[in-house]
Homo-oligomer: A and B are copies of this chain.
Amino acid sequence: MSPRTPEQNKKIREQTQQKIVDAGFTLFAREGYASTSIAAIARKAGVSKGLIYHYFDSKEAILSTIFDQMIDLGDEILDFPDDFTPADKMRQTLQETFQFIEQQTGKGRLMITLALQPETYSNLQSKIERVNETQTVKYIEMLRELGHQQPELEAYRLGALMDGILMGYATMGEAYPLEKMKKKIMEDYVPS
């Protein structure tokens, strides 16, 4: 009955799905998960409500997908070329993290909010933990390579610091001294 080839269909499917995920992400980040309605997502994505349920089982499934994509993206951040020195790695990691903080504030805000409500979004919990762990492991490795004494503890400290900066920037916006913080932290952690 359909005049479309399977390939076309697949492409359409993926595009539509992505439109929904993008719309959902934007709104979740801006308004929060609970305050964002399926109707609003449908509107922003330019599709019908029904179609959303064609692609996703529930509102939470959208969130879950968004989360997966965020994780994939996070993994990319933490990957670098083989010829990088430990200092290069740290520099790039910090730079990219600060870039994320500045440019994807909404994303960060959303992640924090979700991470802080384990009971409500229990099936995201394992994913969140995995993200944290992955990040911590990478930090530990880098810090060890850089010759820190207690790389594990130092990794927690660095992680907390970056989380705190994200929070500060997400809360205060432009009033937060993001650039200065970046400079200071780069100086501290990246031997020049």
Task: Give complex CA distance A185, B113 in Å.
Answer: 26
The 8 closest A-B pairs by CB, nearest first: A160-B164, A164-B164, A34-B34, A163-B164, A160-B165, A115-B171, A109-B116, A34-B35
Q: Give the total of A residues in contact with B, Cβ under 8 Å.
A: 40
User: Known: A165-B160, A181-B157. Contact between A171 and B119, CB under 8 A?
Assistant: no
How far does the alpha carbon of A163 sit from the alpha carbon of B181 in the complex, in Å? 15
A56 interface residue (CB < 8 Å to B): no
Measured between C-beta atoms, what is the minimum distance from A152 to chain B in Å? 8
CB within 8 Å of B: which residues of A? 30-32, 34-35, 109, 112-113, 115-120, 128-129, 132, 150, 152-153, 156-157, 159-165, 167-168, 170-172, 176-177, 180-181, 184-185
- Can you list 18 A-B contacts with CB-CB less than 8 angstroms, sorted by A residue number? A32-B32, A32-B34, A32-B120, A35-B117, A112-B112, A112-B116, A113-B116, A115-B167, A116-B167, A153-B177, A153-B184, A156-B168, A156-B177, A156-B180, A157-B161, A157-B181, A160-B181, A162-B164
Contact residue among B159, B171, B176 (Cβ-Cβ distance under 8 Å from A164): B159
A154 CB, nearest partner CB in chain B, Å: 8
Further 6 A-B residue pairs, CB within 8 A, beyond A157-B181, A159-B168:
A31-B119, A32-B120, A112-B112, A113-B116, A115-B167, A156-B177
